[in-house]
Amino acid sequence: YYPPLRPVRSRWLALASYSVMCYLAGVAWFMGLAFEPFTLRTYMSENAMGSTMVEERFPAGERALATGREFAAHKKKVGGMPVDWLVKTMQSRGLEVFTQSFTRKLPFPDENKERYMVRGTNVYGILRAPRAPRTEALVLSAPCSEGNNNNQAVGLLLGLAQYFRSQIHWAKDIIFLVNEHDLIGMQAWLEGYHHTNTTGGDWSPLQGRGGSIQAALSLELSSDVITSLDLVLEGLNGQLPNLDLANLFYAFCQKIGVLCTIQGKLQRNDWDTTSGYSHAAQTMMLMVLKQASGRPWGDHGLFLRYHIEAASIRGINSFRQYKTDTTTIGRLLEGMYRKLNNLLERLHQSYFFYLMPSLSRFVSIGYYMPAFGLLAVILLLRALDLWVQLGASPPGTEDGVAGGVQVSYGPSSPGVLSILTPVVISHMTGVALYTLPILSQEMAVQHFPVSETEAVVLTAIAIYTAGLALPHNTHRLLQGEGTEEGWRVLKLVALLYLAVLLGCTALINFSLGFILALSLVPIAAFITPHTPKALSAAIMVLLSPGCTLLYCVFVFQELQETPVSLQDGWMLFLSVISQGILDHALYGSLVYPLLALLIYPCWLLLWNILFWK
Amino acid sequence: MAAPLTLLLIVAVTIRAVLFRSSLAELIPERVEVVSPLNAWKRVVEGLALLDLGVSPYAGDVFHETPLIIYFFHFVIDYAEIVFMMADALTAVALYLAVKDYNKTVFRKQKYALEAERYPLDCLELIRTPKEMYYIPLKVAMFYLLNPFTILSCVAKSTCGLNNAVIALFILCTVKGSSLMSAIFLALATYQSIYPLTLFAPALLYLLQRLYIPVNWQRSSFWLFTTQYTFMYLGSLCVMVCLSFFLLSSWDFLSSVYGFILSVPDLTPNIGLFWYFFAEMFEHFRLFFICVFQINVFFYTIPLSIKLKEHPIFLIFMQIAIISIFKSYPTVGDIALYMAFLPAWNHLYRFLRNIFLVSVVLLACSALFPVLWHLWIYAGSANSNFYYAITLLFNVAQILLVSDYFYAYLRREHHLTHGLYLKRKDGSEATLVLK
């Protein structure tokens, strides 16, 4: 009735071929997602934004630029945010103006943006809705950046404020926000607005509020004319705004005739050629990499946490002939806000889980999840196989009656201790990786000639590498010999752990889950103590989460068409690590704790299996 | 054996004490998987505040615990953490002693049967040895105390821990054969949450078995004892209800506690099956389906009691599991109670068919609950269907687990009477099917 188990060798081969097939199928599926016939064309799902036609009449682009120049002059004079001038200007445009000051001490100096003790002020003006009970609001924000950046954005923001003030159809409050120190200011403002404090910053409470915020756009413009507008969607922890927001942007770009890009890539029509396909694939992979990083890629990124649909619009000025002036951008924004103003409920009709191979095409969760599923199924197959092996291995229990699967008192028999010890030690290493870099920076700076930032990053790398010595230490703690059954149980635990972990990660942030699965699934599937040690160890190290991050840095640069040398790539890798730690400390990004506390220990378990004695 | 148990208790209490002091202590009581509207500590505190103000604690429709609980906490509110830790410890010790005693009985029975040569010869490998039975009580206590579900429930100060303690004491008293105490604790458990009512049948069966009274409708001794036990049970239940009335001098608590349990007005998501179903339902079908869902919990008592009348302790396990799956406001604390019994059925391991699948699904679901909750409530990108899908899967896995154990138990009993190697009439190998 139950067929006898196949000989070990042929079963191993069958399983290996299934695993390889699943893996290749998963990768192929993923790559296929960028192929245009397999994707869907975007369409507006929200009725309130669909049928109503809006006439855009914003006229004052030139005046906005003049305001921008005035702002730049004041910024230069004050040497930071010209708070008084902004308050005065906003007030003169008929807004209710409030300011919020904030201070923030970073856990260690941020060398990319050269800041440590951050002190700043947000200025925002509220245009009260004349037509409705002011229970809802929209936000338009522009960052006040260092140097000469984004002056035009602030100018346009003020110009739009003045223009919107004269219109009567606003049913939602419109909040015009100029935030200093980009995301830190945005974080302070959002936490102040919602009365929360998740990351322990220090800011003054907001004096004025609008209704509950329905949608937000963040504007970044650094030149008087632009060639194209880039839409940035990726927010904190890989969260994306509702697809309808992207649709809205795309629809207006089409209507007004502005070139629009996503990931800085224009859309092409030649999907049936190789270069057309590779262009779409590159765009999608850029999105995947950005999403996987879990960091907010624009000032909009923190809104998403509060259930507010938000995106950044970035003006790009390149060497193209065709230019768009500020008036046109103003009209585009006017149109978008008019449509958002028509919303009767929060944007929810369209997708929240999607990838975009171009601005007019998307892949929804139902299409991309199978790619991950095919990888995850390998882990489950392996686990099942191990379970069957564990049941069949003790001799003398060949028994047709009890059913095909027989287990001799299961996982407890090889000694809970021999399994528990590696699990506990791996996790303690993970905890060390998570806590020590920041805690020990002072000590490191005293003893080594490095800056604080370098100290943090290098400590992290040192602990990461020190974890490789772990199997040795684990065995010292264990008295007995590790049994054949012992590593199987450990591997079963590691496989299931990894499967659950990756599954949960992929649900929250598909890209991160998929990238981790790509690198971890092969080693999880094939690692045993009997594989050739040196070769397997080399492969394991090359596919470890840290190295995956390194490859991602290179691939990202390659895809952005700014390839870097090995040296620069390494420096970039170091700065990515410090940024990841900072993102966690400042905004509560979860990628660093996920990698340090869960993924890395899981990888260490597999490493332990390789060196099982 | 006392030393390992003490060690275990110390470890368990340490874990809980550390968690009470950590930042998780604020997060866990907010989780819908851990607390329900019935047993949330926040609501108990609210009830106490109302009581102190001289208002009925049931005013305002927040508090739904029983009057005895609120008067109990009225005195020990300052030591709440210790009370919950002690409740867990008490449950574990009670289960430990109960299972130890039960195993002795089982072993004695097995010895008699062996001496009488009642087992077929090829069944010797099914015979349980003292060696493998020795650690079972300790494992039971360990499964209860170190189960993450219990720990979460305790750190959330869910009053579920107290209910579990009452049920564990009831089991202990039943196993020890003290019918009065058993009836009192059963009444207390029923008073707390109605559903333990179904444990009446197994308790009666066990006590009858212990006194060597056959379940026979014509025997007067059977009727005498049944009446006696019923009277003790109903009497103590009556005393508790009346005591509650005199404490609060109103009958408010009947509708606020039992009405709340039975009519399920609070549809906050939890790991049970009720909330989604009744949130989606048209109002005029509501009463009918409430009846169906509630009768469902009690209905299994009859067939299971008939089938398992020789094995009341296993019946208790089945009933507790069914209650915790089908009750109106289940939490992970309820699941922890029946999971504690799993080591006691270690010997069924070889007959379990899908334990691997079930444990993987349970594990995955437990991890997915918070993830999907986050996506639904905080990120807003998923919706309630995602969460309910996981709830459904979780419950299906639990049902599979319980039915698997049921099948395995019956199958072992079958083999013990008919021999291990079954042959069909034509001599080919036979397989058993659960019908």
Decide if B249 touches A, using CB distance below 8 A: no
What per-residue confidence (pLDDT) applies to A468?
Answer: 85
Task: Give the whole-angstrom CA distance, residue A419 versus residue A409.
Answer: 15
Amino acid at site A358 = S
Short-list A139, A156, A154, CA closest to A327: A156
How many Å lie between the alpha carbon of A159 and the closest alpha carbon of chain B?
Answer: 33
Q: Is B350 in contact with A406 (Cβ distance < 8 A)?
A: yes
Compute the average pLDDT of residues B285-309: 91
Predicted confidence at residue A469, as pLDDT, reads: 82
Shortest CB distance from B364 goes to which of A403, A407, A503?
A503
Residue labelled with tokens 């008073």: B191
> Would the ipTM clear 0.90, i.e. be above it?
no
Classify strands A136-144 and A173-180 as parallel, antiparallel or unpaired: parallel
Is a pLDDT exceeding 70 seen at residue A404?
no
Nearest to A500 among B363, B375, B420 (CB): B363
- CB contact (8 A) between residue B364 and residue A305: no
Q: What would the pLDDT profile of B395-434 be if each residue is shown by its tens digit? A: 999 999 999 999 999 988 888 888 777 666 666 666 666 6
Cα A303 from Cα A547, distance rounded (Å): 31
User: Which range, of A10-19, A236-245, A473-482, averages the lowest pLDDT?
Assistant: A473-482
Task: Compute the count of residue pairs across chains A and B with CB atoms less than 8 Å apart.
Answer: 63
SS3 A175: strand
Residue range A345-354: mean pLDDT, rounded: 87
Is there a contact between A243 and A42 (Cβ–Cβ < 8 Å)?
yes
Q: How confident is the model at residue A51 (pLDDT cuts 50, 70, 90)?
A: low
pLDDT of residue A398: 34
Cβ contacts of A74 within 8 Å, gap of 6 or more: A82, A85
Contact (Cβ atoms closer than 8 angstroms) between residue A58 and residue A166: no
Q: Do A410 and B371 touch (CB under 8 A)?
A: no
pLDDT tens digit string along B224-266?
A: 999 999 999 999 999 999 999 998 888 888 998 999 999 999 8
Q: Which residues contact B222 (CB under 8 A, 6 or more apart)?
A: B208, B213, B214, B215, B216
pLDDT of residue A482: 64
Instruction: For B321-371, write each residue's pLDDT tens digit.
Output: 999 999 999 999 999 999 999 999 988 888 888 888 999 999 999 999 999
Distance CA B48, CA B70 (A): 7
CA-nearest residue of chain B to A353? B381
Q: How far is CA A380 from CA A407, A497, A499, A502, in A?
A: 18, 11, 7, 12
Backbone Cα Rg of chain A: 27
- DSSP assigned state of A196: -
For residue B282, count CB atoms less than 10 angstroms from its CB and return exposed for 0-12, middle for 13-18, buried for 19 or more.
exposed
**Measured between CB atoms, which of B368, B381, B420 is closest to A401?**
B420
- Cβ-count burial A53-85 (b if 16+ within 10 Å, e if not): ebebebebbebbbebbebbbebbeeeeebbbeb
Give the residue from chain A lying closest to B351, CA to CA.
A402
How many CB atoms are closer than 10 A to CB A103? 14
* Residue to test with chain A: of B11, B353, B356, B423, most A Cβ within 10 A: B356
A358 forms beta bridges with A361
Q: Is A349 on the interface with B (CB under 8 A)?
A: no
Q: Is the pLDDT of residue A606 over 50?
A: yes
From chain B, the residues in CB contact with A406 under 8 A are 350
Give dist(CA B158, CA B80) in Å, integer: 11
Which band of pLDDT confidence, cut at 50, 70 and 90, is reported for residue A477? low
Say which range, A476-490, B51-65, B268-282, has the weakest mean pLDDT: A476-490
Mutation for B interface: A1, A305, A408, A500, most B CBs within 10 A: A500
Chain B residues with CB under 8 Å of A496 CB are 360, 363
B364 interaction partners in chain A (CB closer than 8 Å) = 499-500, 503
Residue B333 has a pLDDT of 92
Interface of A with B in 228-247 (CB under 8 A): 239-240
**Whether B372 contacts chain A with CB within 8 A:** yes
The residues with which A179 forms a beta bridge, in sequence order, are A143
Task: Note whether A403 contacts B350, CB cutoff 8 Å.
Answer: yes
Sign of CA dihedral A600, A606, A612, B4: positive
What does the mean pLDDT of chain B come to? 89
* pLDDT tens per residue across span A214-230: 999 999 988 888 899 99
Are B429 and A503 a contacting pair at CB < 8 A? no
pLDDT at A378: 93
Q: What's the maximum distance between 2 C-alpha atoms anywhere in chain B?
A: 79
- Bigger pLDDT: B151 vs B119: B151
A256 touches chain B (CB under 8 A): no
Q: Which residues of chain B have a CB within 8 Å of the CB of A508?
A: 371, 374-375, 379
Where is A329: in which H helix or E strand? helix A326-341
Contacts with B351 from chain A: Cβ below 8 Å: 402-403
**Looking at chain B from residue 310 to 349, which residues have their Cβ under 8 Å from any Cβ of chain A?**
346, 349
Query: What is the rounded CA–CA span in Å between residue B281 and residue B289?
Result: 9
Q: Is the pLDDT of residue A20 over 50?
A: yes
- Find out whether A83 and A123 touch, Cβ atoms under 8 Å: yes
Nearest CB partner across the interface for A507, out of B363, B371, B429: B371
Residue with tokens 């821990």: B161
At position A509, the amino acid (one-letter code) is N
**What average pLDDT does this structure show over A97-114?**
87
Report the pLDDT averaged over residues A72-98.
89
Helices B2-21 + B80-115 axis angle, to 10 = 150
Q: What is the pLDDT of residues A374-398, one digit of tens each?
A: 999 999 999 998 888 887 654 433 3
User: How many other CB atoms sit within 10 Å of the CB of residue B391?
Assistant: 24
Task: Kindly list the residues from chain B whose CB atom is less than 8 angstroms away from the CB atom of residue A1.
Answer: 429, 431
3-state SS of A409-478?
CHHHCCCHHHHHHHHHHHHHHHHHHHHHHHHCHHHHHHHCCCCHHHHHHHHHHHHHHHHHHHHHHHHHHC
The model's pLDDT over A425-439, given as tens digits with 9 standing for 90+, comes to 889 999 999 998 888
Contacting residues of B for A504, CB less than 8 Å apart: 367-368, 371
Nearest by CB to residue B360, choosing from A348, A496, A507, is A496
pLDDT in tens, A124-161: 999 998 877 888 999 999 998 877 788 889 999 999 99
Is the separation of the CB atoms in A550 and A572 below 8 Å? no
